[in-house]
Amino acid sequence: MLEKDIKAQLNQYLELLENDIVLKVSAGEDKVSNDILDLINEIASMSTKISVEETKLERTPSFSVNRVGEDTGIVFAGIPLGHEFTSLVLALLQVSGRAPKVDQSIIDQVKNISGEYHFETFVSLSCHNCPDVVQALNIMSVLNPNITHTMIDGAINRDEAERRNVRAVPAVFLNGEFWNGGRITIQEILAKLGEGPKAEDFADRDPYDVLVVGGGPAGSSAAIYAARKGIRTGIVAERFGGQIMDTLSIENFISVKATEGPKLAQALEEHVKDYNIDVMDLQRAKRLEKNELFEIELENGAVLKSKSIIISTGARWRNVNVPGEEEFKIKVLHIVLIVMVRYMKVRMLR
Ligand SMILES: Cc1cc2nc3c(=O)[nH]c(=O)nc-3n(C[C@H](O)[C@H](O)[C@H](O)COP(=O)(O)OP(=O)(O)OC[C@H]3O[C@@H](n4cnc5c(N)ncnc54)[C@H](O)[C@@H]3O)c2cc1C
């Protein structure tokens, strides 16, 4: 089932498996079930660390990725090829014991979450934003036994997608209710669950020389400029990266012919982290006051002090508060952009 090149790559990854894992398959007589069985058996034949069991899961066809004797709660209801193949490979590695590539502070926050969280993410195999969401929620399931995550391919679970009113992907449901539409990072998931840093986590911050509010391209370059002068610099950002996180194709950033928004944001973050800049991501500034120093109060109640403040809060899409807005937002945005690009091309050809 797997093409030769992909199989060669997969072989290399499977050598990194640390412990035995069990793939439990819930299959019927239909074609998709047969395809899932073919894929699972082919993967299992490539490593002695992988075994396959038949089982009955909530959806058929589907399969789960587990440790020996312990279910992780990671389920794929569909065939994770296309953009989701990486999600499958990472799930195999992480369930086998390889540490996910996220900061230790995030790992600790996920492990400390109490309460039961059952996530389901509707995806399509051609969706660029879906794998990030699937991988973030899979990491959370690997780290915390109270969290489960099922990736649902909307194309082969059409009735369910229709019934649950899924209009755009990725669409995340939490404990049965719609919870998030569009790309979301693990830090954003934690913040949305109310598990992000608390006011006391900021209590020991000394005053800054420059505190930048906003972590888009403007705020990042201001912070880098300041930090290069050797002064104490911080960034408070509701969402690091800013608006470029919402766009895929960027072709007018001089000296980089073409890139994607999230990639550019990641490069910004790496550049910022090269300097001694205190980045406080997923923190919203709600009040600015000038006393002896400037004081910025965050949504969580923490107060940060600084000799000077740079405000680079950019712009954001305004909500019109109509039903279905969250689910449709990303889809509509992409359609608008495609129409704009086509319109401009037609104008240029005339
Ligand atoms: C869909 C889309 C496609 C685009 N495509 C392109 C393109 O191809 N080429 C191009 O040149 N430009 C493009 N742009 C525009 C480009 O993204 C913006 O010009 C650029 O991001 C502006 O940078 P900025 O740092 O000023 O603000 P923003 O990117 O808006 O960043 C603002 C920052 O401030 C933070 N913030 C806001 N309020 C608060 C608060 N109260 N507390 C803490 N933080 C806060 C935000 O979370 C964010 O980090 C596009 C924009 C969109 C939405």
Query: DSSP letters of 182-210?
Result: S---HHHHHHHTT-S--GGGGTTPPPEEE
Q: Would you state the structure tokens that stand for residue 241, as one six-digit string?
A: 């990266």
| Average pLDDT of the residues of the chain | 92
| Bond preceding residue 61 cis, omega within 30 of 0 | yes
Whether 120 contacts 149, CB under 8 Å: yes
Q: Which strands make up the sheet holding 294-298, listed edge to edge?
A: 277-281, 233-237, 208-213, 303-311, 294-298, 285-290
Q: How many CA atoms lie within 13 A of 257 on its CB side?
A: 0
Determine the Cα–Cα distance for residues 149 and 292; give it in Å rounded to an integer: 49
Q: Residue 247: which pLDDT band, with cuts at 50, 70 and 90?
A: confident
User: Measured in whole angstroms, how far is the alpha carbon of residue 201 from the centre of its chain?
Assistant: 24
Which residue among 213, 221, 225, 244 has the greatest number of ligand 1 atoms within 8 angstroms of its CB, and so is best to mutate?
Answer: 244
Which stretch of 138-147, 154-163, 316-325 has the lowest confidence by average pLDDT? 316-325
Q: Would you state the structure tokens that stand for residue 207, as one six-digit string?
A: 């005053």
Q: From the CB of 284, is ligand 1 less than 6 Å away?
A: yes
State the pLDDT at residue 116: 96
State the pLDDT at residue 12: 96
Q: From the CB of 215, is ligand 1 less than 6 Å away?
A: yes
Q: Residue 307: which pLDDT band, with cuts at 50, 70 and 90?
A: very high
Which of ligand 1's atoms lies nearest the C-alpha of 253? 11
State the pLDDT at residue 320: 84
Q: What is the DSSP string of 232-248?
A: -EEEEESSTTGGGGG-S
Q: Residue 262: which pLDDT band, with cuts at 50, 70 and 90?
A: confident
State the pLDDT at residue 279: 95
244 closest CA partner among 268, 278, 224? 268
Which of ligand 1's atoms lies nearest the C-alpha of 217? 25
- For ligand 1, atom 1, name the residue with the nearest CA: 247
pLDDT tens sequence across 44-73: 999 999 999 999 999 999 999 999 999 999
Distance 33 CA to ligand 1 centre (A): 44
Q: From the CB of 243, is ligand 1 less than 6 Å away?
A: yes
Distance 250 CA to ligand 1 centre (A): 13
Which of ligand 1's atoms lies nearest the C-alpha of 236? 43
Determine the Cα–Cα distance for residues 191 and 39; give it in Å rounded to an integer: 36
Q: From the CB of 315, is ligand 1 less than 6 Å away?
A: yes
Pairing of strands 21-26, 233-237: unpaired
State the pLDDT at residue 197: 83
| Bond preceding residue 207 cis, omega within 30 of 0 | no
Determine the Cα–Cα distance for residues 100 and 107; give it in Å rounded to an integer: 9
14 closest CA partner among 63, 60, 54, 47? 47
Whether 327 contacts 166, CB under 8 Å: yes
Total Cβ atoms within 10 A of residue 267: 14
Q: From the CB of 9, is ligand 1 less than 6 Å away?
A: no
Determine the Cα–Cα distance for residues 248 and 73; give it in Å rounded to an integer: 31
Q: Would you state the structure tokens that stand for residue 48, as one six-digit string?
A: 């002695």
Return the sign of the alpha-carbon dihedral for residues 90, 93, 97, 100.
Answer: negative
- For ligand 1, atom 48, name the residue with the nearest CA: 242
Distance 234 CA to ligand 1 centre (A): 18
Query: For residue 148, is pLDDT > 90?
Result: yes
Q: Which residues contact 110 (CB under 8 A, 6 or more apart)?
A: 139, 140, 143, 144, 147, 186, 190, 195
Which stretch of 184-188, 283-287, 326-330, 342-346 has the lowest confidence by average pLDDT? 342-346
Query: For residue 337, is pLDDT > 70?
Result: no
Distance 326 CA to ligand 1 centre (A): 19
Mean pLDDT, rounded, for 249-277: 94
- For ligand 1, atom 51, name the residue with the nearest CA: 243
